[in-house]
């Protein structure tokens, strides 16, 4: 595990954007695992700028972590829409494929199986993650199996409250999502988790210093051999960096 602490989310985001660029440049058929939410925005803004210098995404595939159940791709709050607006349509050369689970599939169980199959055929080289205030990764909420595959999840109160910032009409905010499971996240060759701000400090310290447990899904990342935590001073403020042995800060 490595931990990098930056002054601002923009600096952290730029660092992660360069990791994405290196992955795209290094591999013949790169696969990027992508997240949505406010944390990743500075990273995507930097990646768009970097790509303006001629980064060729035509051999790159992307796989997103999750999608709200009930929102189609045209819905301004769907994660497909988020990705188009904040990344894909801004790139001079779009990715070869950009996979996101469908939140409007007639049969959600079948959609989960279809997505799991896509993940198996496209092993993720670099997985970008944010973290929920409750320690979730993707929408793998606390107290669920840490061995999950793609599944439909009931969002917790914490997650709904955190994500309300994106919804004007909070009554109609979806309460369920399809999420990639923890198993697929752990199979990614490299994982970069970004967390910025006060509100994430407990999730960060519990995940890095606590025991591995279902109450804090991101704690399972302790078992992965190539994880970089990209933090700012606020999100890192509870960490006892002297105590974390073997961590390259
Ligand atoms: C989004 C996702 C979530 C978010 C997390 C943080 O695709 O999978 O795990 O990364 O909820 O959200 P923000 O960045 O909005 O605080």
Rounded distance from Cα 39 to ligand 1 centre (Å) = 7
Catalytic residue, chosen from 67, 111, 141, 232, is 141
Q: What digits encode the pLDDT tens for the residues 84-111? A: 999 999 999 999 999 999 999 999 999 9
Rounded distance from Cα 13 to ligand 1 centre (Å) = 14
Confidence tier at 167 by pLDDT (50, 70, 90): confident
pLDDT, greater one: 170 or 32: 32
Write down the mean pLDDT value for the chain: 95
CB of residue 137 inside a 6 A radius of ligand 1: yes
Q: What percent of the chain has pLDDT over 70?
A: 97
Confidence tier at 153 by pLDDT (50, 70, 90): very high
Active site residue 206: no
Q: What digits encode the pLDDT tens for the residues 203-235? A: 999 999 999 999 999 999 999 999 999 999 999
Q: Given this model, what pLDDT does residue 209 score?
A: 96
Active site residue 7: no
Q: Given this model, what pLDDT does residue 44 score?
A: 98
pLDDT, greater one: 173 or 14: 14
Question: Tokens standing for 62?
Answer: 């992307």
Taking CA atoms only, the protein residue closest to ligand 1 atom 12 is 37
Active site residue 125: no
Q: Given this model, what pLDDT does residue 246 score?
A: 54
CB of residue 38 inside a 6 A radius of ligand 1: yes
User: For the whole model, what pTM was predicted?
Assistant: 0.95
pLDDT, greater one: 243 or 24: 24
Q: What digits encode the pLDDT tens for the residues 39-80? A: 999 999 999 999 999 999 999 999 999 999 999 999 999 999
Q: Given this model, what pLDDT does residue 245 score?
A: 54
Taking CA atoms only, the protein residue closest to ligand 1 atom 4 is 130
């Amino acid at each position: 595990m490595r931990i990098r602490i930056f002054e601002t989310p923009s600096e952290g985001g730029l660092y992660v954007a360069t990791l994405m660029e290196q992955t795209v440049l290094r591999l013949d058929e790169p696969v990027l695992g992508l997240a949505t939410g406010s944390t990743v925005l500075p990273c995507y803004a930097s990646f768009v700028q970097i790509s303006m210098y001629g980064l060729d995404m035509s051999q790159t595939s992307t796989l997103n972590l999750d999608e709200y159940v009930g929102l189609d791709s045209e819905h301004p709050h769907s994660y497909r829409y988020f990705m188009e607006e904040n990344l894909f349509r801004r790139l001079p050369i779009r990715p070869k494929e950009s996979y996101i689970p469908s939140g409007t599939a007639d049969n959600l169980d079948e959609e989960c199986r279809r997505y799991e199959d896509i993940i198996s055929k496209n092993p993720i080289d670099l997985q970008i993650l944010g973290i929920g205030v409750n320690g979730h990764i993707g929408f793998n909420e606390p107290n669920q199996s840490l061995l999950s595959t793609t599944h439909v999840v009931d969002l917790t109160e914490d997650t709904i409250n955190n994500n309300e910032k994106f919804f004007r009409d909070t009554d109609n905010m979806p309460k369920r999502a399809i999420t990639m499971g923890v198993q697929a996240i752990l199979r990614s060759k490299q994982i970069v988790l970004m967390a910025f701000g006060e509100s994430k400090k407990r999730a960060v310290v519990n995940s890095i210093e606590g025991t591995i447990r279902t109450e804090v899904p991101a704690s399972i990342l302790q078992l992965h051999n190539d994880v970089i935590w990209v933090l700012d001073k606020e999100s890192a403020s509870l960490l006892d960096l002297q105590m974390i042995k073997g961590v390259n800060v």
